[in-house]
Structure 1
Amino acid sequence: MKKVKLPAVRPLTAGDFCELRRVAKRTRAAMPGFIKPQLATLKTKAPAGEDWIHEIKYDGYRIQLHIDGDTRKAFTRNGHDWIKRFSTIAGAFDLPYPAIIDGEVVVVHEGRTNFSELQAELAGGRQDRLQYYAFDLLWLDGQDLRKTSQLARKELLKELFETHCIEPPALYSEHAEGDGHELFKAAARLNFEGIVSKRVDAPYRSERTEAWWKVKTVHRDTFPVVGFVKDPSGVAALYLGKQDGKELRYIGKVGTGWSRTRSAEIRKALNTVVSPKTKLTRPIRKPKATWVEPLFFAEVEYRDITSEGLLRASSFRGLTRK
């Protein structure tokens, strides 16, 4: 991707880093507790131009690390300290002064971050596969950096990694400059979750802001409807299958994306193909299911497919008959 020169903000040098430390020592303040995170606003298209940088959107847990000597804390986005779950990651930051770092804990599976694999690791009490992508620096050696520009904070974070030889499972989150839409298309090709675009001159604000944009990639496909769950006037959920050779296997359900009127129309259509038993090759137990002949196909948008082979974050878009 072509780099563009940013006229307003220059990268920090090692000399800047040392000067910041000297200033911090003269104006040293107590490190705060949990800082409410800045959140990105969902958009349909990424911005372009030299006012923005762009990062890969990670599919994991947002974690704010507080490093203060041997005292380590790992706050979730809701302010819960999960240091016991992420002690190995926190241990990667051997720093001689206090710091607050913002980032994402992930598990990389088949070349991309996978939330289902992350949940499985945490459920098993394991940390071996966990990685932490650090993308912001909020506090350093007595100085609050939240009013500092976005790009300056990132350059200082990169310098922190390089100066103190911080190694995996902690990693610095790289960014690209220029046309965010091109990066988004590349992210979609690689089956990543999307990108986050950030204004280079913006401070850190503990709210959802227009200074951070997120653009998500989605997948769309059609799946045979194998059953449904009734609600008083329509359907509460559709059970979906996937043809795999001669087998029709269960691939999950969808329960959003329709209006009350559309829900009633779906129910009316599926009532014409009700079956006394499931047509799945390997039956599954769904006590509330009304099974149907797989003659209707649901068009569905979804984020990805979990390690269990099920749709994640699915949304209904349409229904057609075979």
Structure 2
Amino acid sequence: MPGFIPPQLATLRPKPPAGADWIHEIKFDGYRAQAHVSADGTKVYTRSGLNWTKRFPTIAAELAGAGIDQAVIDGEIVVVVGERTDFGALQADLAAGRYDRMLFYAFDLLHLDGHDLRKVPLRERKRLLQELMQRHKLAAPVLYSEHMDDGVSMFAGAERLNWEGIVSKRADAPYRSGDRSDSWQKIKTSKRETFPIVGFVPAMGGIAALHVARRDGNKLTYVGKVGTGFTMKVSADLRRRLDALPPPKTKLFAKKHIRAVEPTLVAHVEYRDITADGYLRHPSFKGLAED
């Protein structure tokens, strides 16, 4: 059995590649994990090689009891809420020591019964993985990650179902441990919305971040900080316009480093999702709503 294998990583791309040379999988919103299964026991490693077996006991137990001689399986540990994986729910379950909702979606097989499979084409590795799981009757919380050959249709489904995105992989490619190459490409879905600016963090000649809220009728609900998406010119212009605004009649927060303003400017913000705490996840400023 090998030790921990640094995982292959995906390169961000704006749209899925076309052609029969690619397969396409769900981009899960969870913790990347590597399961090492052998007669000596089962270990579950994080993306960086930390041994988190004790944090995923139900997954480790299912793998340990399957009767597999030797295998190294690459995948993602998630919690599914509705029709999508939810990173916030996974973090909450980990913090509370709840394991009943955790799933391990296996999508690659790196080692099997003394054989290093990393030079084997991906489509063959996935076939061997599926056969292994069927032969040993693996079931929830350990599941096989299906794929599609049509990336355009799969990405459209990802947008419709509010998945994080898809991962497109060259079907004939080897596994490039520790590499971020074009043979694996991640294509993310995103949301865009307008939010009133309720405060900002000043910086030299501009701003360090905006603080925004969602408007529901006359009510404002704070949804967090936007700290990316500004050029120096945009940052300076925002600072000039925000400095001209009066303080708000009602503050949504009381933090000294944030300068609160009357919410008369509205920002276009692109973001991945809303966290369990109600904050924007991975937000990026895209401009002011000038209308």
Structure 2 counterpart of 1:259, one-letter code? T
Match of 2:157 among 186, 189, 200: 186
The answer on whether the counterparts of 2:68 and 2:136 sit within 8 Å (CA) in structure 1 is: no
| Corresponding residue for residue 150 of structure 1 | 122
SS of residue matched to 1:268: helix
Identical-pair percentage:
54
Asked whether 1:226 is paired with 2:195, we answer no
SS of residue matched to 2:48: coil
| Structure 1 residues 115-147: Cα deviation after superposition (integer angstroms, max 9, x where no partner) | 111111112222221111000000111111111
Asked whether 1:81 is paired with 2:87, we answer no
Determine the C-alpha separation between the residues in 1 that align with 2:254 and 2:145: 43
| Corresponding residue for residue 282 of structure 2 | 313
Matches within 5 A, 1:112-123: 112-123=84-95
Asked whether 1:262 is paired with 2:253, we answer no
The answer on whether the counterparts of 1:279 and 1:292 sit within 8 Å (CA) in structure 2 is: no
SS of residue matched to 2:53: coil
| Corresponding residue for residue 72 of structure 1 | 42
Determine the C-alpha separation between the residues in 1 that align with 2:200 and 2:57: 44
| Corresponding residue for residue 16 of structure 2 | 46
- Distance apart, 1:68 and its partner CA: 1.2
Structure 2 counterpart of 1:53, one-letter code? I
| Corresponding residue for residue 201 of structure 1 | 172
Determine the C-alpha separation between the residues in 1 that align with 2:238 and 2:78: 38
* RMSD of aligned Cα (Å): 1.3
User: Structure 2: which 5+ residue stretches go unaligned?
Assistant: none
Structure 2 counterpart of 1:185, one-letter code? A
- Distance apart, 1:70 and its partner CA: 4.9
The answer on whether the counterparts of 1:278 and 1:291 sit within 8 Å (CA) in structure 2 is: no
- Distance apart, 1:185 and its partner CA: 1.2
The answer on whether the counterparts of 2:201 and 2:209 sit within 8 Å (CA) in structure 1 is: yes
SS of residue matched to 2:244: helix
| Corresponding residue for residue 214 of structure 1 | 186
Determine the C-alpha separation between the residues in 1 that align with 2:93 and 2:200: 32
Determine the C-alpha separation between the residues in 2 that align with 1:180 and 1:266: 39
The answer on whether the counterparts of 2:191 and 2:273 sit within 8 Å (CA) in structure 1 is: yes
Question: TM-score, normalized by length of structure 1?
Answer: 0.86
Determine the C-alpha separation between the residues in 2 that align with 1:187 and 1:279: 39
| Corresponding residue for residue 6 of structure 1 | none
Asked whether 1:285 is paired with 2:254, we answer yes
Which runs of at least 4 in structure 1 moved beyond 4 Å after TM superposition?
A: none
Determine the C-alpha separation between the residues in 2 that align with 1:86 and 1:136: 19
Matches within 5 A, 1:266-277: 266-275=238-247, 277=248
| Corresponding residue for residue 142 of structure 2 | 170
Determine the C-alpha separation between the residues in 2 that align with 1:285 and 1:75: 41
Asked whether 1:108 is paired with 2:80, we answer yes
Structure 1 counterpart of 2:116, one-letter code? D
The answer on whether the counterparts of 1:227 and 1:278 sit within 8 Å (CA) in structure 2 is: no
Structure of larger gyration radius: 1
The answer on whether the counterparts of 1:298 and 1:320 sit within 8 Å (CA) in structure 2 is: yes
The answer on whether the counterparts of 2:194 and 2:289 sit within 8 Å (CA) in structure 1 is: no
The answer on whether the counterparts of 1:64 and 1:102 sit within 8 Å (CA) in structure 2 is: yes
- Distance apart, 1:244 and its partner CA: 1.8
The answer on whether the counterparts of 1:112 and 1:191 sit within 8 Å (CA) in structure 2 is: yes
Question: TM-score, normalized by length of structure 2?
Answer: 0.95
SS of residue matched to 2:193: strand
Structure 2 counterpart of 1:318, one-letter code? G
The answer on whether the counterparts of 1:67 and 1:95 sit within 8 Å (CA) in structure 2 is: no
User: Structure 1: which 5+ residue stretches go unaligned?
Assistant: 1-30
| Corresponding residue for residue 33 of structure 2 | 63
- Distance apart, 1:321 and its partner CA: 4.7
The answer on whether the counterparts of 1:106 and 1:132 sit within 8 Å (CA) in structure 2 is: yes
Matches within 5 A, 1:125-140: 125-140=97-112
SS of residue matched to 2:55: coil
Structure 2 counterpart of 1:196, one-letter code? V
Determine the C-alpha separation between the residues in 2 that align with 1:55 and 1:202: 15
| Corresponding residue for residue 9 of structure 1 | none
Determine the C-alpha separation between the residues in 2 that align with 1:63 and 1:230: 40
The answer on whether the counterparts of 1:104 and 1:132 sit within 8 Å (CA) in structure 2 is: yes
| Structure 1 residues 256-315: Cα deviation after superposition (integer angstroms, max 9, x where no partner) | 11012211110100111130x4635xx333221111111100111100011111100000
The answer on whether the counterparts of 1:131 and 1:171 sit within 8 Å (CA) in structure 2 is: yes
